[in-house]
């Protein structure tokens, strides 16, 4: 079976080169006679693997010295709790900008531990844009944003100025898709399954002063950042194989120009698709200009009758799959179509998608 173009929002496509290398090393990793999956995480063979992944994160994301890099488990959802449990301890109050499902889920979880002020929201226009929040002041332990909304396809084109209040960002679906100034943030996190590797590992980058001994009372040991800082991400068994894969994906990113190279590549892909959507008599993009994600591109046809639209969307997704273009259905909560075009999606995949869309439009207009 030939490989397909996979527009899944996550887990998502990985660079073929990385998969091939992993396959070559599957039975015998560098003369050890074992797969990385079978190794003790405390072995001499494994230690350089995690050290390399961490070094590559520091290098490619230009992580300043006063930040720690952690490889954790539990996905973005666990970070929704760990952030308030570990950071919400002085004022017991946090500010959230609500840009859709992921930010809403995070603030709902935070309410279990801290007072939450929703200081801005884009709910009024169905989360189709990112609100402009120039300056945040107030008695907050932190300000929380979701930097790229995977579901609605919106992305911050600016970083809110929070002064001395730590800024926390969920960068799950845009990590290393562009350069990002980590020094502007107190903490960022990302589940690997969008842009970094297989599902199962979550990257956290945390500034030293936010690593506390005294999280919210009752915080489990495993949900305390300090535990993992002291344990070098090996307090307990880490997701060894995922971390190995992340290291390989990071090497691929480096070979392709690092964060700057990814931005160039991603801009080219996204522009092609948005230009097509903006000029199409048949389709339209659902996000507003000035807030558009380079990674997730939701779109609809111009069919206005809801029942007909639903049928047409289904037909689109199923015919696309038959043509080798898979996972184009929108998130189950929003419907329509969505093309996730992460770092690993080649330009050819976007061109193939546009060609398919054009044919489908002609046949179904
Ligand atoms: C996918 C995603 C999550 C959820 O991550 P899990 O690893 O499934 O917990 C959180 N935030 C954003 C922005 C995401 O895209």
Q: What tens digit of pLDDT does each residue of 31-73 get?
A: 999 999 999 999 999 999 999 999 999 999 999 999 999 999 9
Radius of gyration, alpha carbons of the chain: 21
C-alpha to C-alpha distance for 246 and 196, rounded to whole angstroms? 6
Å from CA of 305 to ligand 1 middle: 32
C-alpha to C-alpha distance for 267 and 157, rounded to whole angstroms? 13
The per-residue pLDDT for range 220-229, each reduced to its tens digit, is 999 999 999 9
Total Cβ atoms within 10 A of residue 318? 11
In this structure, the residue with its CA closest to atom 12 of ligand 1 is 172
By the 8 A CB rule, do 248 and 18 touch? yes
Q: What is the mean pLDDT of residues 116-136?
A: 96
C-alpha to C-alpha distance for 92 and 293, rounded to whole angstroms? 32
Mutate to test the pocket of ligand 1, among 8, 75, 332 (most ligand atoms within 8 A of CB): 75
Mutate to test the pocket of ligand 1, among 8, 77, 101, 171 (most ligand atoms within 8 A of CB): 77
Give CA 37 to chain center in angstroms: 25
Q: What is the dihedral of CA 250, 256, 262, 264, to 10 degrees?
A: 170
Taking CA atoms, 161 is separated from 32, 110, 128, 174, in Å, by 50, 21, 22, 20
Catalytic residues: 102, 170, 194
The per-residue pLDDT for range 158-178, each reduced to its tens digit, is 999 999 999 999 999 999 999
For CA atoms 123, 124, 129, 132, the dihedral sign is: negative
The per-residue pLDDT for range 306-354, each reduced to its tens digit, is 999 999 999 999 999 999 999 999 998 888 999 999 999 999 999 999 9
For CA atoms 346, 350, 355, 357, the dihedral sign is: positive
Q: Is the CB of 154 under 6 A from ligand 1?
A: no
For 147, residues 6+ apart whose C-beta sits below 8 A from its C-beta are: 155, 156, 169, 170, 171, 174, 188
Describe the strand order of the beta sheet including 167-170 as a list of residue ranges: 67-72, 202-207, 187-191, 167-170, 142-146, 93-98, 115-121
Q: Work out which ligand 1 atom sits closest to the CA atom of 149.
A: 13
Q: What is the pLDDT of residue 199?
A: 98
Q: Work out which ligand 1 atom sits closest to the CA atom of 80.
A: 10
What tokens appear for 201 in the block? 């590992």
pTM for this structure? 0.98
Q: Is the CB of 75 under 6 A from ligand 1?
A: yes
Q: Is the CB of 266 under 6 A from ligand 1?
A: no
Q: Is the CB of 109 under 6 A from ligand 1?
A: no
Mutate to test the pocket of ligand 1, among 81, 148, 172 (most ligand atoms within 8 A of CB): 172
What tokens appear for 292 in the block? 């558009």
């Amino acid at each position: 079976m030939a490989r397909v173009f996979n527009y899944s929002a996550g887990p998502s496509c990985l660079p073929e080169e990385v998969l091939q290398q992993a396959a070559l090393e599957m039975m015998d990793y560098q003369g050890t006679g074992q797969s990385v999956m079978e190794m003790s995480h405390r072995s001499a063979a494994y230690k350089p693997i995690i050290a390399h992944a961490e070094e590559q994160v520091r290098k490619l994301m230009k992580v300043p010295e006063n930040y720690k890099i952690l490889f954790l488990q539990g996905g973005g959802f666990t970070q929704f709790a760990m952030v308030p449990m570990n950071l919400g301890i002085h004022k017991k109050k946090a500010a959230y900008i609500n840009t859709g499902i992921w930010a809403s889920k995070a603030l709902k979880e935070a309410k279990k531990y801290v007072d939450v002020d929703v200081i801005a929201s884009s709910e009024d226009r169905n989360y189709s844009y990112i609100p402009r929040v120039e300056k945040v002041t107030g008695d907050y332990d932190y300000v929380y944003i979701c930097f790229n909304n995977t579901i609605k396809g919106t992305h911050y084109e600016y970083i809110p100025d929070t002064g001395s209040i730590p800024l926390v960002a969920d960068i799950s679906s845009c990590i290393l898709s562009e350069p990002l100034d980590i020094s502007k943030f107190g903490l960022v996190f990302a589940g690997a399954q969008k842009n970094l590797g297989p599902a199962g590992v979550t990257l956290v980058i945390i500034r030293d002063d936010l690593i506390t001994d005294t999280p919210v009372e009752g915080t489990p040991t495993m949900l305390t950042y300090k535990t993992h800082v002291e344990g070098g991400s090996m307090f307990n068994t880490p997701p060894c194989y995922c971390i190995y894969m992340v290291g390989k994906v990071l090497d691929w990113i480096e070979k392709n120009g690092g964060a700057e190279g990814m931005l160039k590549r991603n801009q080219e892909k996204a522009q092609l698709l948005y230009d097509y959507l903006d000029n199409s008599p048949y389709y339209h993009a659902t996000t507003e200009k000035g807030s558009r994600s380079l990674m997730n591109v939701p779109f609809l046809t111009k069919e206005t009758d809801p029942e007909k639209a639903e049928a047409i969307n289904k037909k689109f997704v199923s015919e696309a799959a038959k043509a080798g273009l898979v996972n184009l259905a929108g998130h189950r909560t929003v419907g329509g179509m969505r093309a996730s075009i992460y770092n690993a999606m080649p330009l050819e995949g976007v061109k193939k998608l546009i060609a398919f869309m054009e044919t489908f439009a002609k046949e179904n207009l």
